[in-house]
Amino acid sequence: MTPPRDWLAIHRGDAPLILGFPHVGTTIPPEIEARLVTPWLARKDADWWVDKLYAFAKEMGATLVGTTLSRTVIDVNRDPSGVTLYPGQVTTGLCPVEGFDGDPLYQDGRAPDEAEIARRRALWFDPYHAALEAEIARLRAVHPRVVLYDCHSIRSAIPRLFEGVLPVFNLGTNSGVACAPELERAAVALLAVSGQPFAVNGRFKGGYVTRHHGRPETGVHALQMELACRGYMDEPIGPVQVETWPCPLDDARAAPTRATLRALLEACLTFARDSDSLV
């Protein structure tokens, strides 16, 4: 019997654009939650409200693929082989045992072992990526190019992961490998006029989704956007507590950020529909 896929959220559109939401989920199965230090710690590093921030993408005909599961259960944006995405820098694994701030997520002796990690991968990681591949194939059947845009956010200051305060917009293309250079240039030009600080292939070059699925030579071009949370919420800069995190989505603060994101997605569509040079 095929297990239920109620943890997998897919909205299908017809435009040559797919948005991924690998970290917006907060669901934790009861048998896993019972082993955690606290549920709040296990959910603290979610990409809060990012799916709401990009809700307008449905009107553009985009396909949206996300998981409702917490990244503590399984991180579908990590290399399942265990190879680190950022050599020499702190990162978390396929089934994280520590949060971004270094806090242990599981009670002593109750972290997942290799057998459990393999089971979680089979149940959730592999089907998530199979779903992405299926949507890519569906759209590539009718479009010469498809853009996969992976949506993320993170707190602006996490000293364990990076120095100082992160730029609001952090674009990753796996150092130009995951997409055509003209798509990257178009995105950078829009970030340059956003009025907000930005970085390109800085601390965040793109996770497993971008690196694995971005294959420009086959017509699949991938980007990752890591937003600093202050771009759309009244974020406390520094350590957060149960009482202060997560903050609600602030529509007024989010308005200029949304405008830039909409322009970025429009640029992705323009690129994907351009038949002059099919790279």
CB atoms within 10 A of CB 12: 13
Distances (CA, A) of 139 to 25, 106, 219: 25, 40, 11
Packed helices 251-273 and 181-192: angle between N→C axes, nearest 10 degrees = 150
Give me the tens of pLDDT residue by residue for the chain, a chain 279 residues long: 344 579 999 999 999 999 999 999 999 999 999 999 999 999 999 999 999 999 999 999 999 999 999 999 999 999 998 777 766 676 778 999 999 999 999 999 999 999 999 999 999 999 999 999 999 999 999 999 999 999 999 999 999 999 999 999 999 999 999 999 999 999 999 999 999 999 999 999 999 999 999 999 999 999 999 999 999 999 999 899 999 999 999 999 999 999 999 999 999 999 999 854 444
In angstroms, the CA 142 to CA 140 distance is 5
Q: Is the peptide bond before 246 cis (omega within 30 degrees of 0)?
A: yes
**8-273 domain in CATH 3.40.630.40?**
yes
Q: What order of strands is seen across the sheet that includes strand 198-200?
A: 8-11, 63-67, 17-21, 146-154, 220-228, 169-172, 198-200
The model's pTM: 0.95
In angstroms, the CA 184 to CA 61 distance is 21
The residues spanned by each domain of the chain are 8-273
Judged by DSSP in three states, 256 sits in helix
| Residue 208 CB partners (closer than 8 Å, separation 6+) | 76, 77, 78, 79, 80, 85
In angstroms, the CA 120 to CA 140 distance is 29
